[in-house]
Chain A
Amino acid sequence: MTRQIMHIDLDAFFVSVEQVENPELKGKPIVVGGRPDRRGVVASASYEARAFGLHAGMPLTTACRLCPQATFIEGSFPKYRSASQRFMAILTDFSPYLEPVSLDEAYLDVTGFESIYGSIYQMAVAIKQRIKDELRLCASVGIASCKVVAKVASELSKPDGLLEVATGKERSFLSPLPITKLPGIGKKTERILNGLGIHTIGKLSAMPLSTLKSHFGASGEILWRYAHGIDHRKVEPPSAAKSISRETTFGKDTRDHSLLKATLRYLGERVGSQLRQQGKQARCVTLKLRYADFTTITRCHTLRQASNADQTIFDTGVELLNKALSQEKQAIRLIGIGVSNLTEPGRQLAMLDSSAQRLGQLNKAIDRIRKKYGFTAIQTGRTLLLKEINLSSS
């Protein structure tokens, strides 16, 4: 049976959320990502800013040089997350077969839904309208018989677009497009293909499969299939998380032990609280460090007993941190901590000391307070340092 898949993508998501909140920003070049004097990259740029050549992933300093008149906004992740949750909630009202790809992008399997909405096209119009009414955001939608074509279609229709590719017309739709429009083709692949004289998806699809395989290995076959508009991937609802992690980049590279530990504690508490919220425990704790020269290492430790206690996550993280610091003297640019190997709840009770039980009670109490009054309503002494640093820097 022919499937019908929709790809829904919010236009300039972070920027649009900011513009909804602050209408004065509408129609102006806006960059979300941080202040231009700090380091970081563009997370999202408004279409007006894109006209100056700005794009997501560009260093802020470059963005500032290209478009000094742009308004630079720090951005607030919780705000985007809540908008994203509302976006996904609207989509699930239309079809339960939802696969969120990122905060502002999702696939919807809508096979057979034309009987409800008259046509899939009309269903897409209805989805766009609800997003506009309820979130005051614009979405672009692509409809096709497979994921890759639906995605290319929504991308092509932007902004505020809607494009349906009829079944059977996938190849002729893709054929004239430049290869860069095809998901999976990055700078490197593009360069190689250009070297082979291939600039359009049509040319790519005309290549013998064996040639692509010899250049790109297994991914050569995927490229070949995509170029033909063949994609058998299903729309898969998100499975339970296999790991949870948090990381942060320091404003300035650091060797300060107490700052590293305070940050680790804070990130560990974030991870721990999410772990407990999911009712899971973890066997594995992983520390991630990026040094000043961008070398990135991860070190992990397997616990004897699965745990979801902040203290255990932190203690293990510190142990790994100390070991790493003793081997490498460089300053640290980024620190992160994560847990994996998640298991069902279930806690081994101890015979001789009840410290594990007491830590469990403590976490439960802290979680309750945070649920009611917010995450920063209560904090451990170690993370107080972060507050002081943040206050003094701003």
Chain B
Amino acid sequence: MRLTCLQENLNRGLSVVGRAVATRTTLPITNNVLLATDQSRLKLAATNLEMAITCWIGAKVEEEGAITVPARLLTEFINSLPNDKVDISLPLQTKTLELKCARFEARISGVDAKDFPPIPKIEQGITTKVEVEALHWGITQVVFAAASEESRPVLTGVDAEFDGDLLTLAAADGFRLAVYKLSLATPVSQKTEVIIPARTLAELNRLMTDQEEAVEITVNPNKSQALFRLKNIELVSQLVQGTFPQYAQLIPQSYNTRVVVDVAQFLRATKTASIFARDGSGIVRLVIVPGGELTPGKMTISARSEEIGDDVGEIDAIVEGEEAKIAFNGKYLTDALGVLRETQVALETTNPSSPGVIRPVGVDNYIHVVMPMFVQW
């Protein structure tokens, strides 16, 4: 193998695949990154067996070949080099990768590329395309609601339902539920529902930041794997097997109180209260008071701790329905409010022990349901 590429491109490519490198593993070779010539490009690939990322960078290939080398070592080395040409070669019959850049020369011992776990090829199945921006917002607004614990594996994933030209993303962790609907750029041929690991989607979001072209998504026929194709990057992920809870029935269909407030004000008041709620299980109390003939409605956001003290914040609100009191874990509120793009948000409540519903005002493609906390008032 012999080729030349730019340090800048190689560095960026390694950072793209870097997140798929295994950290704690029983299969040592997954700590390595695969380098392989692919026509006139250099292919970089890494896998942790749940997720694999492949990235192609421009190169002048003089002799074909492939090798795997420790990912961290290579990444750190390339990252510290000046922005110059990098000559990469692997002398025949050897496993030592030789790198030259400016006046640096390095040799890195590698492992045969044949031993690298094959990255699944997904060529058939359900295929569609989604605009980058729409997908980015969809992922941002649901992915944090997925469970971080493995006690119910399906909840560590995001439910994705492809139906016609509509994609519905949903995530839940047993205490909250986020549902986001977005349009597909090309409709799917048949309705398909899969559970994508939240980690995969978080990674995809990161990869999409400097992308403009629509993302191509392919789910293999037995719905065990999915491929996300970006420009020069492919991400292949295992899918979570199992049945996602029927979440539609968890979304309340009516409310007794609906309050509309400014997102930034609500977020600030919740964050302020959370400082006082830290030692009290994060309890943040909301009191919603309808306005009168000449007075505006208001919502107070408060928290108290026996030992530290308390805080009450008040914001203007348009209140529909009766006065309401409800308590939430402050983190769940700040998580949900923090990802909204809109300036106004509605909170709908039924009673202190029924779920609260958060809907941004002006759009109807996002809904966030949070279970309250049971407290003594």
Contact = CB atoms under 8 A, between A and B. Distances in A.
Interface of A: 240, 281, 283, 304-306, 343-353
Contacts of B175: 348-351
A350 B174 contact: yes
Interface string B116-133: 000000000000000000
Interface in B269-286: 279-281, 283
5 tightest A-B contacts by CB?
A346-B375, A349-B371, A347-B374, A344-B280, A346-B283
A348 B375 CA distance: 9
B176 interface: yes
Nearest to B354: A349
B138 interface: no
Contacts of B375: 344-347
Contact of B177 (A304, A345, A347, A351): A351
B305 A348 contact: no
B327 A351 contact: no
A349 B281 contact: no
A348 B250 contact: no
A285 to B, nearest CB: 15
A305 B305 CA distance: 17
Contacts of B327: 346
A349 B370 CA distance: 9
Given A305-B281, A343-B281, A349 B177 contact: no
Contact of A353 (B174, B281, B306): B174
B245 interface: yes
7 contacts: A346-B281, A346-B373, A348-B373, A349-B373, A350-B371, A351-B250, A352-B245
Given A306-B281, A351-B371, 4 more contacts: A281-B281, A346-B373, A351-B172, A351-B175
Interface of B: 149, 172, 174-177, 245, 250, 279-281, 283, 305-306, 327, 329, 353, 355, 369, 371-376
A344 B177 contact: no
Contacts of B245: 352
Contacts of A240: 306
> Helix, strand, loop or mixed for chain B's interface?
loop
Max count, chain B CB within 10 A of own CB: residue among A281, A283, A306, A345: A345
A347 B373 CA distance: 5
Contacts of B374: 346-349
B305 A352 contact: no
Contacts of A281: 281
Contact of A352 (B172, B281, B372, B373): B172
A351 B176 contact: yes
A351 B357 CA distance: 13
A344 B283 contact: yes
Contacts of B353: 349
Max count, chain A CB within 10 A of own CB: residue among B172, B174, B306: B174
Contacts of B250: 351-352
B155 to A, nearest CB: 8
Contacts of B306: 240, 344
Contacts of A346: 280-281, 283, 327, 373-376
A351 B149 CA distance: 16
Contacts of B305: 344
A346 B306 CA distance: 13
B159 to A, nearest CB: 13
Contacts of B372: 349
Nearest to B374: A347
Given A281-B281, A305-B281, A348 B172 contact: no
B231 to A, nearest CB: 39
Contact of B281 (A344, A350, A351): A344
Max count, chain A CB within 10 A of own CB: residue among B175, B176, B306: B175
A304 B332 CA distance: 14
Nearest to A357: B374
Contact of A304 (B149, B280, B355): B149
B367 to A, nearest CB: 14
